[in-house]
Structure 1
Amino acid sequence: MTEPPSGPSENGSSAESVAADLPVIELVHPMPGFPAHRRFALVRLDEDGVLCALRSLDDPDLRFLVVPPHAFFPEYAPVIDDATASELGVTRAEDVLLLSVLTAGPSLADTTANLLAPVLVNTHTQRACQVVLDDPALSTHTPLVA
């Protein structure tokens, strides 16, 4: 499969703008370290829908801060393998919402994004997973701003 879209689609929207419209997201595999959590809601935390939280529906205290990586890393273009695309039921790259998990620091300058293991969401089926990419150039702690 090719890389997810980085910009607006033909109808003028982008995968990033879909975030507020997704119902319950079902992880096909739990996030590493959280085996009991598979059902999440994607909650918009800012007006622009850039900063979101993946909030566990089984434990309201568990949430992951996420952003669409293209908002901060326009050149980021992970290649998703066919097995993962098939598992999520993805047939078109345009149907993938790509998210990076953040590690919040005391300030924005200290906040990092996990580009090595993005979260992929099929916007039609709401099936998702976190994928660890095989790319030594990517990091789990990439500074969000330079």
Structure 2
Amino acid sequence: MKITRTQQDVGSGKWIGWHILTVGEAGFSMLDVYGRHWHGLDLQVIEQFAERINQNNESGSLHPRAPISAVPKCFFRDYADSRNPQVLGEFRRHIAEFLDANRTTIHAKQLLVDLHVSDQPVPTQYLDAVEEVLRSQGQESGIEEVVIFT
């Protein structure tokens, strides 16, 4: 599996066809950009999806409706500066759950990870956690290439 980190570049059409893993946050958010602007989903669909993810504290996917999955926003809104092993372990669990869903249901070969909730860089501990889980468990997921927006 090829894993690359790069600066955020959502204006480019080169990501069309990639599965997106982002943050479950509706409104002025990357979920909104990918869901509404790239895939034509209604705002209500995005809001309900984000609400379910955050209320249930679980990762989720809009597949097959759209190639978008998300993790709860609490990691980036409530625990953005946290290096607590429990918090990071819970985050890793969500990434592993996504990989399992990809292996069994989604079957994406290319994954774009965009965990931005603002114009600030994604906290390094979360980028490292994503890459760690991808390297340790990603081979069985069927994903061949990953780009992680920093």
Q: Do the structures match in fold with TM over 0.5?
A: no
The structure with the largest strand share of the pair is 1
The structure with the largest helix share of the pair is 2
Higher relative contact order (CA 8 A, sep 6+): 2
